[in-house]
A and B are shown apart, each in its own frame.
Chain A
Amino acid sequence: MRRYAIKRLAQAVGVLWAAYTVSFLVLDFLPGDPVTAMASAGMDSGTVDPAQLAALRHEYGFDKPILVQYADYLGRAVRGDFGDSVSTGRPVSSTLADALPQTLQLTGAALLLAVLLGGGLAVVATYTSRRWLRQLLLSLPPLGVSVPTFWVGLLLVESFSFRLHWFPAFGNDGLRGLVLPALTLAIPTGAQVAQVLAKSLLTALDQAYVETARAKGAGRWRVHLRHALRNASLPALTVVGLLVGQLIAGSVVVETVFSRDGLGRVTAAAVTAQDIPLVQGVVVFGALIFVLTNLLVDLVYPLLDPRIVVASGRKAVAV
């Protein structure tokens, strides 16, 4: 078990390093640099004095060889120091720390909604014996996955804010401001949960143990929820782990449409400004969340399926 844990930890560090390195290289391949980006920001067509740019580039260290810059940044990042944002001068860590709670609120609420809506839909669709209702419900997830988040967001704002005045159209204020963005983000996520769960529920319902349960006199709801759902939820749980990454990515669009502050907006602004330290911070942070969630999902499996502990234990011994 310990070797298994060490191996997982090494993998996690590997993932973080790879994310860091790839994002650094991608940013380096982009034309221009943060200094030019800043200086041209409001200059309509950027007629900035080249000598001035060169001096600034030197000041920020962007004129050093790329490997030296990489080693510099990486060395500090390992010690937890991601440096200062080029465009605002604020430390990257505090910029991220300020934005994080807003995004956690949003993605947390969206994940909850997604699991409730998606899970509920899958359970009802597979439970009902009315063919037309099942068909109708099962056709919703593909639709939810394929409509663009941006469009859904605008549609919700138009109906519930501009027309009905129920919710504010923008801002981070209170629970009321959270409803529409969370719903927007929950729709594609919930749709994927529903797709996976419905499929595995249908498979589970065909299994012999369900027959056995029925034969022993268990009611339909009990068979459905207690026996089939418990087994069918494993693939859905794996998907949820992956969806956390998708939720963070989705927050870029949702936070823009609903004018919310958070990691998504920070990311969008950092990429536009080619703010290398900030983008690096966001990437490593995103990778960290992703790694942690998947670790958590792995740890939850045994709670749902006792066989998994033995399996991973054996695997660890075998390695």
Chain B
Amino acid sequence: MRAHPDIRPTRWTALAALLTTSVLLTACGSGGGGSDSGGGQARSGGTLTFAVGSDAGCVDPQQVASNDTIYSVRQIVDSLTDQDPATGKIVPWLAKSWDISSDATTFTFHLRSGVTFSDGSKLTAQVVKDNFDAVPKLGALGTLAEGYLSGVKSTTVVDPLTVKVTFQQPNAQFLQATSTHSLGIESSASAKKSPQEKCSQGVVGSGPFVLKQYVQNQSITLAKRTGYAWGSSRWTKSGEAYLDKVVFKVVPEAGVRAGSLQSGQVDAISSVGKANEAALKGGQVTLQRRANPGVVFGLAFNNSRPVLKDARVRQAIGFAIDRKQIADTVFPTGTQPATSILAHTTPDYADLSSDLTTDAAKAKSLLDAAGWKAGSDGIRTKDGKKLSLTVDWIPNSATNQPALELIQQQLKAVGVGLTLKQVQVTQLTPTLQSGDYDAVWSNVTRADPDILRSSFSTELANFYRLPTTPLDTALTGQAATTDATKRSQLVEQAQQLIVRNAYDVPVVELQTQIGVAKKVHNLNFDASSRIQLHDTWIG
């Protein structure tokens, strides 16, 4: 299997791809894929060099939202809890146990004893309070963390190792939020600094690595925390991390990242796109991939538009889209077509693939029934008006435009016109707020199903202008229950209501793909499809 028929067109379509693939093709064997977790005796020591595409200009885990920087700063702090990527279950980390009031408004955490920060200070309930009191004042960069704590009434110290967080309304998502990097616990001294100081100077955490050096736009260097002994309950190694040092290098050009990995100048790289896959196949590199949990990429409709108020039109668009074709032609290998509004890696995801089929005949009959008759130029009309929609999209990923162009063709085949309108990232929120749009191409990453409430509840921002329906009851209900089975049922019900009413037409899951040298072992994804380096070793 040495021939790769899909490589030739790629080579000539993009010059950059040509440059990185041409040489490496000769060295291209078969194989690749498949994460290597074993392979010899695990051993301590060594330096891991990881090339990422960007620098957020900030090294405070509570304020960083870009994966490229989360990869490094996540290692500096521990969280109260951890989330098992396989089951989505929340497991102990800094908190050895917790109690949640039955209405999901009060969360009490019992902290582990003997935990220290790298400045020598001890982890106490007061430190957690200092952190949670500071988060709402983080400002523009801290929107993720602020969102998790929105509606917080108070954080109180019950005893030196017990802390209680109370919310004004039920907030079931908060437990998962405590497992994220955004609510990673920093030392009291760090928590009391200004957001800007934390960004530029970094923070002191209790994590398995400490921040040694940060050179803006260049590198972030971490060193092993000696004496670390309070790792998450799901990690395989107890005590200190294997690696002595981790250096994150900022290499903006994707082709240069791929070439650097292939030529051994770095040990791992972030965000491998389809164009660079060929260059990395075989040889000494493994491609690791995991779907991002949360709301999948799809057409989120403005449900208040007269044309789109008719459920049949929305559903027809859903049946006209061939999800598999889009996933296979545009996205990196392994990307899965959407099988629900949530990605399959999200806790409480329900498989709704039987609702998300491709059926052009059904799409056409739905449109016929809605009164949209085939027009002379192939686009349907009703009362002299064309069935033509505009989709707003932001250039935050190279796959957006080709995916939408394919959707455009697929919709045209059933008589629906689609116009693509690119808007700047900064323009998207104002657009959603103003309501002057037909549909947006969007996704949101979050490893808790409560993201459905943030996106689709009419009681919150309601950017997609949904009408008040039983969906609201399901969404509010899942946020207010601590019973796992009941929550799961409500979340499934919400997914069904969104998918069957096609308030949003799910299309494809977003997949994170990283390239890792074969000599690196146990570089694994966490529940949010980001990385944890405590168990990683170089063989």
Chain B residue contacts of A168, Cβ below 8 A: 265
- Asked if A142 lies at the interface with its beta carbon under 8 angstroms from chain B, I say no
- Asked if A3 lies at the interface with its beta carbon under 8 angstroms from chain B, I say no
The CA-CA distance from A236 to B295 in the complex, in Å, is: 59
Contact indicator per residue, chain B 243-262, by CB within 8 Å of chain A (1) or not (0): 00000011111011001101
Q: Which residue of A lies closest to B260 (CB)?
A: A169
Chain B residue contacts of A17, Cβ below 8 A: none
Task: Report whether B58 and A88 are in contact in the complex, using a CB–CB cutoff of 8 Å.
Answer: yes
Chain A residue contacts of B22, Cβ below 8 A: 158
The CA-CA distance from A36 to B194 in the complex, in Å, is: 20
The CA-CA distance from A52 to B14 in the complex, in Å, is: 42
- Asked if A165 lies at the interface with its beta carbon under 8 angstroms from chain B, I say yes
Task: Report whether B143 and A170 are in contact in the complex, using a CB–CB cutoff of 8 Å.
Answer: no
Partner of B249, one of A32, A39, A44, A259: A259
Task: Report whether B252 and A43 are in contact in the complex, using a CB–CB cutoff of 8 Å.
Answer: no
Task: Report whether B429 and A36 are in contact in the complex, using a CB–CB cutoff of 8 Å.
Answer: yes
Chain B residue contacts of A274, Cβ below 8 A: 426
Task: Report whether B57 and A88 are in contact in the complex, using a CB–CB cutoff of 8 Å.
Answer: yes
Task: Report whether B394 and A155 are in contact in the complex, using a CB–CB cutoff of 8 Å.
Answer: no
Task: Report whether A158 and B19 are in contact in the complex, using a CB–CB cutoff of 8 Å.
Answer: yes
Partner of B256, one of A48, A88, A170: A170
- Asked if B101 lies at the interface with its beta carbon under 8 angstroms from chain A, I say no
The CA-CA distance from A303 to B216 in the complex, in Å, is: 42
- Asked if A41 lies at the interface with its beta carbon under 8 angstroms from chain B, I say yes
Task: Report whether B64 and A172 are in contact in the complex, using a CB–CB cutoff of 8 Å.
Answer: no
Contact indicator per residue, chain A 260-303, by CB within 8 Å of chain B (1) or not (0): 01000110010000100000000000000000000000000000
Task: Report whether B20 and A33 are in contact in the complex, using a CB–CB cutoff of 8 Å.
Answer: no
Q: In whole Å, how far is B135's beta carbon from the nearest beta carbon of chain A?
A: 13
- Asked if A210 lies at the interface with its beta carbon under 8 angstroms from chain B, I say no
Contact indicator per residue, chain A 32-51, by CB within 8 Å of chain B (1) or not (0): 11011111111111111110
The CA-CA distance from A169 to B249 in the complex, in Å, is: 11
Task: Report whether B259 and A158 are in contact in the complex, using a CB–CB cutoff of 8 Å.
Answer: yes
- Asked if A313 lies at the interface with its beta carbon under 8 angstroms from chain B, I say no
- Asked if B425 lies at the interface with its beta carbon under 8 angstroms from chain A, I say yes
Q: Which residue of B lies closest to A257 (CB)?
A: B253
Contact indicator per residue, chain A 46-60, by CB within 8 Å of chain B (1) or not (0): 111110110010010
Task: Report whether A269 and B57 are in contact in the complex, using a CB–CB cutoff of 8 Å.
Answer: yes
Q: Which residue of B lies closest to A148 (CB)?
A: B15
- Asked if A90 lies at the interface with its beta carbon under 8 angstroms from chain B, I say yes
Chain A interface: which of B36-44, B334-342, B381-389, B441-449? B441-449
Chain B residue contacts of A36, Cβ below 8 A: 426, 429-430
- Asked if B304 lies at the interface with its beta carbon under 8 angstroms from chain A, I say no
Q: Which residue of A lies closest to B265 (CB)?
A: A169
Q: In whole Å, how far is B59's beta carbon from the nearest beta carbon of chain A?
A: 10
Number of interface residues of A (CB under 8 A): 54
Chain A residue contacts of B19, Cβ below 8 A: 154-155, 158
Partner of B263, one of A48, A49, A155, A162: A162
Chain A residue contacts of B218, Cβ below 8 A: 171-172, 259, 261
- Asked if A161 lies at the interface with its beta carbon under 8 angstroms from chain B, I say yes
Q: How large is the interface on B (under 10, 10 to 19, 20 to 34, 35 or more residues)?
A: 35 or more
Contact indicator per residue, chain B 309-341, by CB within 8 Å of chain A (1) or not (0): 000000000000000000000000000000000
Task: Report whether B426 and A90 are in contact in the complex, using a CB–CB cutoff of 8 Å.
Answer: no
Chain A interface: which of B183-191, B195-203, B407-415, B531-539? B195-203
- Asked if B154 lies at the interface with its beta carbon under 8 angstroms from chain A, I say no
Contact indicator per residue, chain A 138-169, by CB within 8 Å of chain B (1) or not (0): 00000000000001001101100111010011
- Asked if B454 lies at the interface with its beta carbon under 8 angstroms from chain A, I say yes
- Asked if A231 lies at the interface with its beta carbon under 8 angstroms from chain B, I say no
- Asked if B440 lies at the interface with its beta carbon under 8 angstroms from chain A, I say yes
Chain B residue contacts of A171, Cβ below 8 A: 218, 249
- Asked if A65 lies at the interface with its beta carbon under 8 angstroms from chain B, I say no
- Asked if B433 lies at the interface with its beta carbon under 8 angstroms from chain A, I say yes
Q: In whole Å, how far is B108's beta carbon from the nearest beta carbon of chain A?
A: 27
Given that A40-B426, A43-B143, A43-B144 are known contacts, is A259 also in contact with B199, CB under 8 Å in the complex? Answer: no
Chain A residue contacts of B16, Cβ below 8 A: 154
- Asked if A89 lies at the interface with its beta carbon under 8 angstroms from chain B, I say yes
The CA-CA distance from A98 to B432 in the complex, in Å, is: 39
- Asked if A67 lies at the interface with its beta carbon under 8 angstroms from chain B, I say no
The CA-CA distance from A235 to B402 in the complex, in Å, is: 48
15 residue pairs A–B, Cβ–Cβ below 8 Å: A32-B426, A33-B426, A37-B425, A38-B141, A39-B143, A39-B429, A45-B444, A46-B429, A151-B15, A158-B23, A172-B218, A256-B252, A259-B218, A261-B216, A266-B217
Contacts A50-B433, A154-B16 aside, 16 further interface pairs with beta carbons under 8 A come to A36-B430, A41-B141, A42-B64, A43-B65, A47-B444, A88-B57, A88-B216, A89-B194, A151-B15, A154-B253, A154-B255, A157-B256, A163-B263, A170-B249, A259-B250, A259-B252
